[in-house]
Amino acid sequence: MRVGTVVFGTIGLLATVLAGLIVFDVAVAAAIVEVAQAVDVTLVLVLGGIALGLYGLLGAGLAGPDDASGTTFDAAVDSPPESVTAPDSTLVGAATDAGFADAVAGDEDAMSSLVDRLRTTAAETYALATDSDPGAATQAIAAGTWTDDDVATALLAPDTPQPLLARLRLWLDAESERERRVRRTIAEIRALGDER
């Protein structure tokens, strides 16, 4: 506990007790008035001014920062309040981003996991957009009736082949075609959600 807190707390407590006694006890108040009349007013004012000055100096000396190496401004410059508070934490979508990158790069397990996630999201979005039950939404995704985009349909419907142009693109530049398929599917799911 800081010395200033103890000193000022004690003085404040004594002042509060004295004020309480004055307010609630008329006899004590009368005694204080008699003492005040007997004392020289100039002496009381001089002593009160000195006490108030010492109180202010003591407060100014003790109110500084606990750390003697710098001021509060120096601490704010070293660690500004707008800086990131958890720089070593994992980003929220880091696993999703990594799964997307692996799927686009050609990892079949990552692509399968990503397609499953997209299929589930599409079914939930379709169910909400059409006010249908989850089973009907899953059937619509599997049948390809949820969108007019043949690339998105083929990605989420296991029995539907990709269009010829998409298959040629996959043969020429597999990574960009896989990314294009996923992005088109996401765009269709988003459009379906916007219709709601």
50 lies in some domain = yes
Q: Check residue 33 and give its pLDDT.
A: 73
150 lies in some domain = yes
* 177 contacts 113 by C-beta, under 8 angstroms: no
My answer on whether 9 and 71 are in the same domain is yes
- 151, two tokens: 């690339």
Whole-angstrom CA distances from 120 to 111, 115, 141, 175 are: 14, 9, 9, 23
156 lies in some domain = yes
Which among 111, 136, 121, 106 is positioned nearest to 191, based on CA atoms? Answer: 121
CA 156 distance to own-chain centroid: 35
- Say if pTM beats, i.e. exceeds, 0.85: no
Residue 53 backbone dihedrals phi, psi, to 5 degrees: -65, -45
My answer on whether 37 and 110 are in the same domain is no
- Residue 114: count other Cβ atoms within 10 Å of its Cβ: 21
When divided into structural domains, the chain yields a total of 2
Tens digit of pLDDT at every position of the chain (196 positions)? 577 777 778 888 888 887 776 676 666 667 767 777 777 778 777 888 898 888 888 777 665 555 555 676 776 677 666 666 655 666 667 788 888 899 999 999 999 999 999 999 999 999 999 999 999 999 999 999 999 999 999 999 988 999 999 999 999 999 999 999 999 999 999 998 887 6
- 129, two tokens: 């957009």
My answer on whether 74 and 107 are in the same domain is no
Q: Check residue 26 and give its pLDDT.
A: 67
What is the phi-psi region of residue 106: left when phi exceeds 0, alpha when psi lies from -120 to 50, beta otherwise? left
Q: Check residue 156 and give its pLDDT.
A: 94
86 lies in some domain = no
Q: Check residue 49 and give its pLDDT.
A: 85
7 lies in some domain = yes
45, 78, 111 - which closes a domain: 78
Q: Check residue 70 and give its pLDDT.
A: 64
85 lies in some domain = no
My answer on whether 103 and 183 are in the same domain is yes
My answer on whether 65 and 9 are in the same domain is yes
My answer on whether 153 and 109 are in the same domain is yes
- 170, two tokens: 């996959």
Domain span at residue 72?
A: 3-78
